[in-house]
Amino acid sequence: VGLSLVHFGPERDICGDARPELLRASAERDALARFLGNPVFKMLLLGRRASQAFQSPLDSPLPLLAREQDVPKSRRPALAAIEQALRSLAAER
């Protein structure tokens, strides 16, 4: 469908260059502090063109692994179904 990887990394990367200001504000807001300090939740952003939105030196992009051997053996049977669903979506467009 023409999409490519824009960013894969912690959800907090969405803050970009505003993170230092948000960290100061988080001293008074527990929910914001938990969000900024949580590296567990990841976001996968796909787009049709390149973006400079995630070029902050504070961002921490992660590698996106696409090799079958990187997928746990217990989840590998689902790969064929996912690939087929993606091909079907692409064919519809």
Q: What is the pLDDT of residues 40-74, one digit of tens each?
A: 889 999 898 878 888 888 888 888 777 888 888 89
Are residues 54 and 17 in contact, defined by beta-carbon separation less than 8 angstroms?
A: no
Are residues 3 and 45 in contact, defined by beta-carbon separation less than 8 angstroms?
A: no
Which amino acid appears at position 28 of this protein? Answer: E
pLDDT of residue 8: 92
pTM confidence score: 0.60
Flag whether pLDDT at 1 surpasses 80. Answer: no
Flag whether pLDDT at 93 surpasses 70. Answer: no
